[in-house]
A = this chain, B = another copy of it.
Amino acid sequence: MAVRSTPAELVEAARAGDRRATARLLTALENQTADAAAIAGLVKGGDAQIIGITGSPGVGKSTLVSALIGAWREAGLRVAVLAVDPSSPFTGGAILGDRVRMADHALDAGVYIRSVATRGHLGGLAATTGAAVRLLEGLGFDVVIVETVGVGQAEVEIASLADTTLLLLAPGMGDGIQAVKAGVVEIADVYVVNKADRPGADGAVRDLRAMMSLVRREPGEWRQPICTTVASEAKGVDDLVAAIAKHHDWLAGADRLADKRRRRAAAEIRARVDAALRERYRVSEDLAEAVADGETDVASAVRRVLGDTG
């Protein structure tokens, strides 16, 4: 039988590097247990850099994350990673990808890695990771990495979550142009062309530069650097770490860090409010059928669900 620890005991253990304690605290927050409010109160504050890493499948996100962890650990920083896998709509759970490289850090108490499922449509990234990011920050991690799979919604959300968002591309996947198409380029703070030893890397960098030259910027605005890496050999990682630090300094100088923190909280509240409202305002099968059959139009159906008489 497991000994029941108080929130305060768990927080103390987690601060000292006990991963199981960290995991239990995160689980308590995720499940909104009775202890959640007490935990949130205990881990106020902290001063972590929140780094978002995004990009298409196959560009090497996990490998780069592992290399970044290595660099930050060498600098004596504690690093936490939230790896967000979209949950399967059928199994309800996260299908974990290959995290073999993460095993490099398995025995390092200064590293904490957790896979997070985004359960269903509702809430999404903000609801599932907002509280976790704040907890990890409060536990004394210096860097919290949020890694997302895929291109789309999650990328827009990650930009609202992270202080610094990295967009990872790889040559030969037509990613340069496609990233623009998806509107993802505009949300990144740092571009990374990974697998830079492969043919087409120069072209990808060129494409990115060409696209960026089209964006008009005010004086004092951040100009996204383009870093090239071979993550599997840790090449270019020091330059990337420097670019991230530079962005962080720019944010701090422009007094934007508090703003980012507030936006993270707002996104989290929003996501949870939306989930609660969905429970309250339900769409009946009969109403859906009436719209499908053309007996009612959508606007009337919406008014009925909202309880409006208009």
Contacts and interface: CB of A to CB of B under 8 A. Distances in A.
A288 B37 CA distance: 16
Interface stretch (A11-19, A73-81, A181-189): A181-189
State the majority secondary structure of interface residues on A.
helix
B87 A183 contact: yes
A38 B121 CA distance: 32
A287 interface: yes
Contacts of A302: 269, 272-273, 276
B288 A131 contact: no
B294 A40 contact: yes
* A90, A95, A182, A299 pick with most chain B CB within 10 angstroms: A182
A277 interface: yes
Given A57-B178, A175-B57, A283 B288 contact: no
A2 to B, nearest CB: 25
Given A262-B292, A272-B299, 13 more contacts: A37-B297, A40-B294, A57-B174, A57-B178, A58-B175, A88-B186, A150-B152, A258-B292, A268-B291, A273-B281, A273-B283, A274-B274, A276-B306
15 contacts: A43-B294, A44-B293, A56-B151, A57-B175, A57-B181, A58-B174, A86-B156, A87-B183, A89-B183, A131-B298, A134-B292, A269-B291, A269-B302, A273-B302, A274-B278
Per CB-CB distance, the 6 closest pairs between chain A and chain B, nearest first, are A44-B294, A57-B178, A58-B174, A88-B183, A266-B288, A152-B152
